[in-house]
Amino acid sequence: MTTIAFDGKTMAGDSHCGGDFIGRTTKVVKVKGCLYGFAGNLEQCNLFIDWVKDGKPKEKPKNMSIFECLEYDGKNVYWWGEWMRGVKMNSPQAIGSGARFAQAAMLCGKNAREAVGVAKKLDVHTGGRVRTISLGAGK
């Protein structure tokens, strides 16, 4: 799957992509002033980001059973999953197959990038280059 970590300022994600094909992809993006990090089915992740780009209309993507996302809007962190209802979460926060490792690392003082690095060492489904993004000044 993957590992996405958010430490309260920065979101980080690995780039390993497995399943029907093996490769690398970007799993953390900035859209409309918010940070998003994705784990799960790549097509479902793309459906979600298209929905966000369209302004989150009332009609939500369907069949999102192999998908999860962290969203940071500059104030709050939300978890999105199969039912497409943003659930407010605390930070630090992590999702994906390496989430437990990343979460533990951040609770021990590591930042999001370092936390994904820890997960890469312990989770066989996390790998590749780690990408980080943040909102920066002025969102």
User: CB–CB of 70/87 below 8 Å?
Assistant: no
Per the structure, how many domains does the chain have? Answer: 1
In a domain, 54, yes or no: yes
Tens of pLDDT, residues 76-109: 999 999 999 999 999 999 999 999 999 999 999 9
Specify the pTM. 0.92
Element (H, E) at 105: helix 99-107
Going by the DSSP 8-state scheme, the letter that residue 35 receives in this structure is E
Q: How confident is the model at residue 139 (pLDDT cuts 50, 70, 90)?
A: very low
User: CB–CB of 133/11 below 8 Å?
Assistant: yes
And the tokens for 55?
């302004």
CATH of the domain at 84: 3.60.20.10
In a domain, 136, yes or no: no
In a domain, 34, yes or no: yes
In a domain, 137, yes or no: no
Write out the residue range of the structural domain in which residue 33 sits. 3-127
In a domain, 139, yes or no: no
User: Nearest-CA neighbor of 9 among 104, 111, 99?
Assistant: 111
In a domain, 132, yes or no: no
Give the list of residues 6+ apart from residue 75 with CB closer than 8 angstroms, or none: none
User: CB–CB of 112/12 below 8 Å?
Assistant: yes
